[in-house]
Amino acid sequence: MMKIGELAKLTGCSVQTIRYYEKEHLLESKNRSEGNFRLYDSSAVEQLMFIKHCRSLDLALYEVRELIDLNQSPGTHCDDVNTMIDNHIEQVEQRMKELKELRQQLTSLRNSCSTNRTVEECGILKKLSSKQLQNR
């Protein structure tokens, strides 16, 4: 059994993050010490690492919660897991498309100003102030 600080060190999560995950019912401490400190076991380490991995894949907390629930029902089909990840892939592809468009806009904006100009002559600032860029 370990206290929250030890769990934080073992997993690389901050104490605040661990408390937040508890508040969101993604993680729980099953025991308390005599001094009323939360105590965690190795299953909490595994659960927290699972959450961290899901979050590193940019899964939302509700998705992580759903995966935790599904993970606790090992006999059920994994269709729901596959559907969730498929939806997430679509979201990532949409974001990539949006980011490419943003990059193009920023590149165009950057190309509107050369070096050796004053702020008053800056093509970027002029375009940012113009209505044509704002309407895109």
Instruction: Count the Cβ atoms, other than its own, within 10 Å of residue 54.
Output: 18
Residue 13: the pLDDT is 95
Q: How does pLDDT run along the chain (136 residues), one tens digit per residue?
A: 889 999 999 999 999 999 999 999 999 877 787 777 888 999 999 999 999 999 999 999 999 999 999 988 888 889 999 999 999 999 999 999 999 999 999 998 888 887 787 888 888 888 888 765 555 5
For 1-36, how does the pLDDT look when each residue is reduced to its tens digit (9 = 90+)? 889 999 999 999 999 999 999 999 999 877 787 777
How far is it, in rounded angstroms, from Cα 65 to Cα 40? 19
For the chain, how many residues are written? Answer: 136
Instruction: Please identify which residue in the block is written with the tokens 């605040």.
Output: 16
Distances (CA, A) of 132 to 8, 13, 120, 127: 50, 45, 19, 8
CA distance 27 to 18: 8
pTM value > 0.85:
no
Structurally, at CATH architecture level, domain 1-76 sits in Orthogonal Bundle (1.10)
Of the candidates 82, 71, 80, the one whose C-alpha atom is nearest the C-alpha of residue 43 is 71
**Boundaries of every domain in the chain:** 1-76, 85-136
